[in-house]
Amino acid sequence: MERELMLTGIGGQGVQLAAQVLARAATFEGRKVMFFGVYGGTMRGGNTDSTVVVSDEEIASPPIISRTWSAIVMHHEYWAPLRAKLRPNAVVLLNSTLFEGELDREQLRVFEVPATALAAELGNVMTASMIMTGAYARVTGLVGLDAAIEGMRESLPPYRQQHIEANSRALRAGFESMQEQAAPAWATE
């Protein structure tokens, strides 16, 4: 099995952290992973994208992909280039609190996650990407919640360790928010 994930958003939304957490989680579960982050011209407010490829076997080429199995969309601002890379029936998780625009719901498996609103309810809007990460883990079954939490712990630099508990709560909240849509059979086809 090999699965691709592309993430997009605005710099400062935690896109790179979310990708790193999912990549580490997959390695903790014994799979091979390649991870590639792309930043726009500015750290905050510019474009930020990331690609994660997870496989049961060695990955022979860098994670520069033309088509993707899944996507996490934190904001609509830089959505168009990613949209063009989605396979038919791709899994797409949208931050429905911020996303504006139309999607071809006939061609995509769309899951709306009010990540920014849920993060605000938890008391820290900066954890929205961890809400999305937890929701993605639940919907796709690509990684487990415990591995995602461990991946987050390992991904935070020493000067951000005070955020472990808030991020753990956010991962759990995202995972639980998708309870009725948990790991459908197609997620592992």
Taking the whole predicted model, whether its pTM rises above 0.95 is answered as no
Residue 181: pLDDT band by 50, 70, 90 thresholds? low
Q: How many domains does the chain have?
A: 1
Query: Residues 131, 174: contact at Cβ < 8 Å?
Result: yes
DSSP letters for 92-108: EEEETTT--S---TTTE
In sequence order, what are the beta bridge partners of 5? 52, 70
Start-to-end Cα distance in the chain: 8
Residue 41 scores a pLDDT above 70: no
pLDDT at 101 (0 to 100): 86
CATH code, 120: 3.40.920.10
pLDDT at 131 (0 to 100): 98
By residue range, what is the domain housing residue 157? 2-188
